């Protein structure tokens, strides 16, 4: 296999431009960096379009290269310079894939069978968003909804922070908050806003039924108009002297509280 060594070649430039949202949306493609993300992408059929791997990574992750070829993806050997151009980390792991978009419509992601859903409303930090996606996956959530005012889940930092969970559960993007909340309610879920302004704490709320949690921006929380749409505003109790929890930690506490209560209610705990 010939090696891509020139960062100015059309193939490398076409891949590199996917670091920008406008080009991702235009091509309906995004970059998945690192063996973990690529491995999970390859578990889904017809998602991986191209794979770039250094000679060293070809040996270390031979199973990924072989699986990509078996799925019909184009495999490129890339020099260290080319990999550094494509990767968005300080120390690239030698593997980057171009993947097709994997998000689904709201009506497909949230059905009457849904028990636990995470909604990201006005969340702008990609690291936080990706971590919430990963946490929702670990807690057994049915889906994650990114509203139209939130970060792009295909942002490189968000994809990395999700640690492959982007490929594990249905993800919705661009849904207006009122539309998302109404659909959640119509699907039988109780919609709870996680916010420090809540009158009741997580300890005081019954969580055994189907629940959707709405999480907001870490700096300023959820707008009043969003809080008014939800069935109840709930705050995470602070027992020590910390002012608050960051978004990803608060989301983990809320999602796992619901997951545990639901398992207990169903006799699976």
How far apart CA 259 and CA 112 sit, in angstroms, is 17
Span 3-100 CATH architecture:
2-Layer Sandwich (3.30)
pLDDT at 150: 94
For the chain, give every residue range classified as CATH 3.40.1280.10.
106-266
CB 172 within 8 A of CB 145: yes
**What's CA 48's distance to the chain center, in Å?**
17
Closest CA to 238 of 203, 214, 191: 203
Map tokens 């055994």 to a residue: 208
CB 147 within 8 A of CB 180: yes
Helix (H) or strand (E) segment spanning residue 100: strand 95-100
How far apart CA 166 and CA 161 sit, in angstroms, is 9
CATH number belonging to domain 106-266: 3.40.1280.10
pLDDT at 31: 98
pLDDT at 203: 94
- Those residues of the chain that have pLDDT short of 70 are 1, 269
Q: Residue 190 to residues 92, 109, 118, 249: CA-CA distances in angstroms? A: 42, 16, 12, 21
For the chain, give every residue range classified as CATH 3.30.1330.30.
3-100
pLDDT single digits (tens) 121-178: 999 999 999 999 999 999 999 999 999 989 999 999 999 999 999 999 999 999 999 9
pLDDT at 1: 64
pLDDT at 218: 80
CB 157 within 8 A of CB 34: no
Q: What pTM, to 2 d.p., does this model score? A: 0.94
């Amino acid at each position: 296999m010939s090696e891509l060594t020139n960062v100015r070649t059309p193939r490398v430039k076409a891949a590199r431009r996917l670091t920008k949202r406008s080009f991702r949306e235009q091509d309906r493609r995004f970059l998945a960096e690192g063996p973990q993300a690529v491995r999970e992408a390859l578990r889904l059929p017809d998602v991986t379009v191209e794979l770039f791997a250094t000679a060293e990574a070809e040996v270390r992750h031979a199973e990924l290269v072989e699986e990509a070829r078996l799925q019909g993806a184009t495999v490129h050997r890339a020099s260290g310079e080319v990999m550094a151009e494509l990767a968005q980390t300080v120390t690239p792991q030698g593997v980057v894939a171009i993947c097709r978009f994997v998000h689904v419509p709201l009506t497909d992601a949230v059905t009457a069978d849904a028990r636990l859903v995470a909604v990201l409303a006005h969340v702008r930090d990609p690291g936080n968003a990706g971590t919430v996606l990963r946490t929702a996956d670990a807690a057994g959530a049915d889906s994650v909804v990114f509203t139209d005012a939130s970060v792009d889940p295909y942002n490189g930092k968000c994809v990395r922070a999700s640690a492959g969970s982007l490929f594990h559960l249905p993800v919705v993007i661009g849904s207006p908050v009122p539309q998302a909340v109404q659909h959640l309610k119509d699907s039988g879920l109780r919609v709870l806003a996680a916010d420090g302004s809540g009158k009741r704490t997580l300890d005081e709320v019954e969580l055994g039924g189907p629940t959707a949690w709405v999480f907001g921006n870490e700096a300023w929380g959820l707008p009043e108009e969003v809080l008014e749409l939800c069935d109840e505003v709930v705050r995470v109790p602070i027992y020590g002297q910390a002012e608050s929890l960051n978004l990803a930690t608060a989301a983990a506490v809320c999602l796992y509280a619901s997951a545990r209560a639901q398992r207990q209610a169903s006799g699976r705990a």
